[in-house]
Structure 1
């Protein structure tokens, strides 16, 4: 076993321990948070999320809408993690093929002209099989587009033109920030050999689209569904953020040399849609470089422009950084605030640090955790 494999196994063992000991944190309540005078970014390209490991026993999860079914079944499923990766939303996780990269879908698929390869609306359409988790924070322009063309497939397939479809696994929250149920229904549909399957687990709807001639993986995906308190990269699935800008408790940030990995955990703070909405794992040198950048940044927090925002709101999301050592043990947490006009910075148990390009941009280096909006001064360092 290589050194990296030993570290990987230690990390997995620690996750099992943390999952068993994770505290329950109440979901936040409070007023809906709306931004004022902020810069909005559209999501971009896909990066493959690779998780390598051995076989893992996975609790199966039954449809929570049937009260006669247990939340987590007693049976388990063997998942070969050399072929599969985990993808999750809130406390629900399912598997997807490991070579399907994470991608954000087109903002307005109904506006795309499939006959125009230079149509700007189509530039963000994934060009290969992918996994995705939808975000309520992704900006969607309110404009009129063309009516559906004759011969379009069942509306259950969505608005993306048929010619641009790619196989995918997609996770959606069952309700949006208004408390409304999504228009999609659970079920199965086919169109010219394409197969769409959709099921709801707890508060997450999982959709699987497979191509003609390709393996129909829907059963494998659905059978793997599980609820967790700590997810596959080490993030707790309950949010630590209620009102304001809380500070983490526990140990101070360790020396960079002691850090072997960082779990990057993105939590929605939108009223009615709180919870873990994205995560990824930063390893080895990248994790040590980020730790060093945080420790080297000036104290005090910021950049802020408090005159631009109301004092009783705090932005739509916040990030937790969880620092793990070589034996997989949790060393410390830090909170990253980037979305509002005040309170910005990286907060540890011993104080706040100013956001810099070196300590903020790595947090948003992969599309699983996106920086959607914020003050221009923050954008310059977090999304340069």
Structure 2
């Protein structure tokens, strides 16, 4: 198969979809790999690194899209890329369709095969291609939140861990999944007083067992959220419904209940956000303020630590990319239910229920599409 790795062009996105080590593995399987020039520079990998691994370097993004049967990316295509995508071309990346109607309609119109990292799902309901970036984002949420609690950045002027004789900051984490767990570990390690909420009692029992003494668990409901936001200094939105929009757990009217300088970090912003007032921001302009509350809503947080993120992402995606390349997307998805669940839009048809419900679009069973797809 002919595989293309374009340079990411989203604002301040420094990750690349494939490391040179990953490129070498793909070449070992006999596939042809084209990488756009400087695609890996932001992550610390030179064009020469990819050449040594057996890839061919192409100067423009147009050439990469033009020649490849499968495109491997990090972030969803943006407007400048829509017309580069060809009919029947397989695009393997994070899409988050439920947060962008424009992107959804664009991919339907292009009649591409869109296989989303975030909905590839194992039998135990875990999301193997979302996990590594969720781990990075969960840890970064605390790192960034602690930074924006500083007074020059309009925060409350609180040191997350406090000092002897001065109490630490109070951190509220909404969601006890991968993001929430990693955020809680980081915040607890810095000495903050942490409350983590979730709707699953078994999950709360698990978290209660593994977390240190400065982490409390609490059932997530509107009453408890309203109660805790009054005394929290840093609030992390870490709720995920795979492939669908995140619910608004913190609503506009709740901001009035928070103290001035409270910091909100919405890690779920690329799925619509679980804080109603959040809208996607960039690393260039990461925050905005509403009612004296600081909102940090960067939609590609791991892009700020691209070396770590690129290695972690390639570790997870490479086995799936090799399956797709070796067998073709049709056979690979027929044989591997995990990959099959990653299909969101196929040749103009929406085949993932969360996406069809988000935008009220016709839904086609993925098995029907696979039965009629040409091998």
Question: TM above 0.5, one fold?
Answer: no
Q: Higher strand share goes to which structure? A: 1
TM-score for both structures, normalised by structure 1: 0.26
Q: Higher helix share goes to which structure? A: 2
TM-score for both structures, normalised by structure 2: 0.27
